[in-house]
């Protein structure tokens, strides 16, 4: 018997939850005042939060979870006994529009298992995006996960309708991909990213004659699974840096390997390493927004793994005490960026505030800066850490209370 | 000087009173800002304030802010910066009774300290930013958590209504967002702090408190199915959810009824995944794929 729409929605959203991205920001600004349905503004909106603390911004579903690939870490691999289902193109379009009208979502994040061939699957997905845009004049956000080995022409067509395209690099090393996803080829995935970058560049070239067509305005991103193999953080971050540099990705998502129903027995059924995932994101941020080099972040770590107890900036500062304390009334922006406890925003307000006064500790309190955290590392008009920065037990001031370990 | 305000997020009424006080040189400590407590009957006219409580804004110019900006010219002697107007427009929407006094004190001080607002460490400026932040957050949550339910259409345009309970008087400020997004449908957002409606030509706004209503929409069931299944029980992190989706919003979110059960069963579901481990035999179509592969390679 054919499964109802609700049953298939349950299966195909369950199958989609291992994709970490739910971003719907950073695309071109559009709205429905000249017709159609939907808008996108500078930042996306999280319309709900699941009890796993993750934001729900998009209708994140698979077109189908049938798949001819057998990737060990994937819930949809061909050898798994999960229930299978498939949406028609019209059903995906209908769900997206009806969910959108009720203000549940910002748009669609469509991925798919691979059926028949890469091109066939990609074609079906492009059709959904195309129908949403052209038939229904949908102006909300669309993210398509492109299918490995799909032809460049299809990817280019997808880019005309989607805000963002992504292709998963899956694992941080080529050896990892070859071992766990034997039908995927890392060099082809990278080639596809390279081609897309080239297309994006081409479309953004200025032209005298007319406005360029919109092409993947929110850029491309990727995802890698953390903890399914033994790769260390230094290698993972190195891979990301190379992806950011070579393909100008907007984001690399890290997805803690999470137990799945009917898991393959070549993989550990572990508790997902959520803290590690969090530390990787923090390190990724230091690299992208705070002027850190990847090598600096992991330099002090012998095994190449980030400290799970301390955030990477604090860990770096404790390893590089000779750089502190920093005078918040005089230091350059780049130097302030490296003070643990100061974020991009608080650095900006410090810079503004100090044009009008000599900053004291109470000023930092008013700027909502955590004084406890920054005190050992800064000098203000009324505060010098004296010996605090040299204390051997400085780490203990920050490290969390020991916790009893929970198995699984 | 005693000023009585309706205090339902209408910038114009505060601006008018503040302008009068300032031109008369009344120091902030001598202005007593009082909130009118009045009863609305549902269909009657609202307050007697001459800045009409029910007003319309034409499309594009949106609701009050743009108009307010155009008129916000005080006497030549008075000084206001565009940043001041932008921030106080937000702050006036806050539900804290102290907002009027704070904004007037800032206006007063601004006359002698033109760059006052640039100093984020000034206590009054800090307080203003605190109000603005809270209002912005509430506006953001409104954009996120309003849930439309479909209702009987009166024209060929589809019609939707939503009941929402904001913390501050933000409906007029937030309504243009819904106008930009849902241009092709009729909608009403009703709240205890004012309501907005859109039928394709003009954005209507009323300050009167609306009464809650119940409405069923079949799509809510599909949405709940999605919500339950996109949740990963192996990553349970309730505090992270609650800091972004505080409980006060739950009662108007169709998906929130599922939350207690999802949390309760999460552990059990993860344990079951472990106990079951992988099944011995792969499904038939996997075996078929395999044999096709080996055929091909031979």
Assigned domain for A405 exists: no
pLDDT for the residue B294: 74
C-alpha gyration radius of chain A: 24
Q: Cα distance from A198 to chain B (closest Cα, Å)?
A: 32
Specify the pairing of strand A107-111 against strand A58-62: parallel
Extended strands (E) in A231-335: 251-256, 326-327
Assigned domain for A403 exists: no
- Inter-CA distances, A67 with A147, A154, A268, A382, B164, Å: 11, 19, 22, 65, 42
Q: Give Cβ neighbours of residue B153 (< 8 Å, ≥ 6 apart).
A: B159, B186
Which residue do the tokens 């995006």 mark?
A129
Lowest mean pLDDT among A356-365, B258-267, B285-294: B285-294
Q: What is the pLDDT of residues B183-219, one digit of tens each?
A: 999 999 999 999 999 999 999 999 999 999 989 999 9
User: What are the DSSP calls for B180-228, one per residue?
Assistant: HH-TTSEEEEE-TT-EEEESSSEEEEE-SPPPP-----THHHHHHHHHH
- Looking at the structure of chain A, the number of domains it has is 2
Q: Give Cβ neighbours of residue B8 (< 8 Å, ≥ 6 apart).
A: B53, B169, B193, B194, B207
Residue B53 has pLDDT above 50, yes or no: no
d(CA A297, CA A109): 33
Q: Which domain holds residue A344?
A: 323-398
Which of A186, A221, A256 terminates a domain? The answer is A221
| CB-CB neighbors (< 8 A) of B163 in chain A | none
pLDDT for the residue B251: 92
Structure tokens at A98: 């009806």
Cβ-Cβ contacts under 8 Å between A and B: the total is 208
pLDDT for the residue B4: 87
Asked whether the beta carbons of A47 and A59 are under 8 A apart, the reply is no
Tell me: do A346 and A212 sit in the same domain. Answer: no
Burial class of residue A2 (count of CB atoms within 10 Å of its CB; 0-12, 13-18, 19+) = exposed
Any idea of the CA torsion for A9, A257, A223, A252, to the nearest 10 degrees? 130
Which of A205, A221, A237 terminates a domain? The answer is A221
d(CA A366, CA B221): 46
Q: Cα distance from A144 to chain B (closest Cα, Å)?
A: 17
Structure tokens at B186: 């009729």
| CB-CB neighbors (< 8 A) of A13 in chain B | 225-226, 229-230
Pick the residue from chain B with its C-alpha nearest to A77. Answer: B286
Q: Please, which residues 204-263 of chain A have a Cβ atom closer than 8 Å to chain B? A: 256, 258-263
Q: Report the percentage of chain A scoring pLDDT > 90.
A: 75
d(CA A190, CA A207): 29
State the distance between the two ends of chain A, measured CA to CA, in whole angstroms: 38
- Inter-CA distances, B244 with A13, A53, B138, Å: 22, 8, 11
Assigned domain for A301 exists: no
Q: What is the pLDDT of residues A81-107, one digit of tens each?
A: 999 999 999 999 999 999 999 999 999
pLDDT for the residue B54: 37
Cβ–Cβ of B60/A59 closer than 8 Å? no
Cβ–Cβ of B226/A9 closer than 8 Å? yes
Cβ–Cβ of A357/B121 closer than 8 Å? yes
Residue B38 has pLDDT above 70, yes or no: no
Provide the residue ranges of all domains of chain B, joining segments of one domain with +.
2-38+64-142, 219-276
Assigned domain for A355 exists: yes
A385 at B interface, C-beta within 8 A: no
pLDDT for the residue B278: 67
Run of H or E residues at B265: helix B259-276
Higher pLDDT, B283 or A63: A63
Tell me: do A206 and A341 sit in the same domain. Answer: no
Q: What is the pLDDT of residues A18-30, one digit of tens each?
A: 888 888 888 889 9
| CB-CB neighbors (< 8 A) of B140 in chain A | 45
| CB-CB neighbors (< 8 A) of B117 in chain A | none
User: What are the DSSP calls for B273-291, one per residue?
Assistant: HHHH---SS--HHHHHHHH
Which of A221, A247, A267 terminates a domain? The answer is A221
d(CA B254, CA B56): 31
pLDDT for the residue A306: 94
Pick the residue from chain A with its C-alpha nearest to B145. Answer: A47
Residue B252 has pLDDT above 80, yes or no: yes
Which CATH number goes with the domain that contains A83? Answer: 3.20.20
Asked whether the beta carbons of A145 and A113 are under 8 A apart, the reply is no
Q: What is the pLDDT of residues A122-157, one digit of tens each?
A: 999 999 999 999 999 999 999 999 999 999 999 999
């Amino acid at each position: 018997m054919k499964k109802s729409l609700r049953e298939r929605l349950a299966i195909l959203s369950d199958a989609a939850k291992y994709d970490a991205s739910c971003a719907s920001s950073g695309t071109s600004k559009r709205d429905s005042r000249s017709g159609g349905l939907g808008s996108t503004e500078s930042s996306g909106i999280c319309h709900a939060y699941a009890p796993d603390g993750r934001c729900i911004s998009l209708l994140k579903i698979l077109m189908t979870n049938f798949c001819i690939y057998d990737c060990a870490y994937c819930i949809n691999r061909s050898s798994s006994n999960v229930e299978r289902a498939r949406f028609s193109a019209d059903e995906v379009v209908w769900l997206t529009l009806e969910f959108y009208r009720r203000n549940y979502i910002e748009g669609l994040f469509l991925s798919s298992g691979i059926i028949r061939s890469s091109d066939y699957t990609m074609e079906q997905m492009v059709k959904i995006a195309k129908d949403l845009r052209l038939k229904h004049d949908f102006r909300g956000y669309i993210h398509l996960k492109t299918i490995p080995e799909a032809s460049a022409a299809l990817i280019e067509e997808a880019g005309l309708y989607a805000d963002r395209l992504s292709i998963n690099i899956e694992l941080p090393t080529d050896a990892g991909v070859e071992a766990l996803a034997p039908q995927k080829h890392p060099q082809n995935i990278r080639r596809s990213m390279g081609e897309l970058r080239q297309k994006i560049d081409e479309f953004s070239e200025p032209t005298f004659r007319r406005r360029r067509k919109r092409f993947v305005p929110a850029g491309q991103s990727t995802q890698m699974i953390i903890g399914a193999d033994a790769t260390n953080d230094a290698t993972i971050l190195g891979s990301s840096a190379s992806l950011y540099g070579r393909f100008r990705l907007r984001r690399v998502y890290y997805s803690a390997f999470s137990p799945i129903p009917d898991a393959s027995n070549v993989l550990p059924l572990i508790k997902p390493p959520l803290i590690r995932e969090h530390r990787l994101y923090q390190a990724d941020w230091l690299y992208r927004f705070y002027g850190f080099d990847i090598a600096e972040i992991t330099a002090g770590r012998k095994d190449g793994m980030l400290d799970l107890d301390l955030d990477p900036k604090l860990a770096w500062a404790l390893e590089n005490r000779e750089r502190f304390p920093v005078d918040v009334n005089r230091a350059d922006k780049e130097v302030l960026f490296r003070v643990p406890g100061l974020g991009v925003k608080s650095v900006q307000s410090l810079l503004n505030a100090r044009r009008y006064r000599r900053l004291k500790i109470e000023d930092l309190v008013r700027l909502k800066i955590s004084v406890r955290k920054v005190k050992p590392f800064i000098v203000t008009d009324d505060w010098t850490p004296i010996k605090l920065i040299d204390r051997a037990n400085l780490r203990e001031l920050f490290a969390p209370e020991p916790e009893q370990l929970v198995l699984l | 000087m005693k000023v009585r305000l309706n205090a339902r997020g209408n910038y114009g009424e505060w601006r008018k009173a503040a302008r009068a006080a300032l031109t008369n040189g009344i120091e902030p400590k001598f202005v007593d800002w009082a909130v009118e407590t009045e009863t609305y009957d549902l269909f009657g006219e609202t307050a007697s304030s001459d800045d009409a409580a029910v007003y319309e804004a034409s499309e594009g110019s949106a609701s009050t802010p743009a108009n307010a900006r155009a008129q916000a010219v005080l006497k030549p002697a008075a000084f206001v910066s565009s940043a001041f107007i932008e921030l106080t427009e937000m702050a006036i929407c806050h539900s804290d009774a102290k907002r009027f006094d704070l904004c007037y004190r800032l206006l007063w001080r601004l006359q002698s300290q033109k760059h006052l607002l640039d100093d984020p460490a000034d206590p009054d400026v800090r307080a203003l930013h605190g109000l603005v932040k809270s209002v912005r957050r509430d506006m953001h949550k409104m954009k996120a958590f309003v849930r439309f339910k479909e209702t009987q259409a009166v024209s060929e345009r589809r019609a939707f209504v939503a009941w929402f309970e904001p913390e501050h008087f933000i409906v007029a400020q937030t309504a243009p967002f819904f106008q930009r997004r849902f241009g092709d449908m009729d909608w009403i957002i009703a709240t205890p702090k004012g309501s907005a409606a859109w039928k394709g030509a003009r954005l209507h706004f009323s300050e009167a408190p609306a009464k809650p209503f119940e409405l069923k929409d079949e799509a809510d069931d599909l949405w709940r199915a999605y919500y339950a299944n996109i949740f990963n029980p192996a990553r349970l992190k309730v505090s992270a959810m609650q800091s972004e989706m505080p409980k006060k919003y739950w009662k108007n979110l169709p998906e929130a009824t599922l939350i207690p059960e999802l949390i309760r069963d999460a552990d059990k579901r993860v344990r079951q995944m472990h106990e079951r481990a992988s099944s011995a035999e792969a499904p038939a179509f996997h075996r078929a794929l395999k044999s096709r592969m080996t055929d091909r390679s031979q």
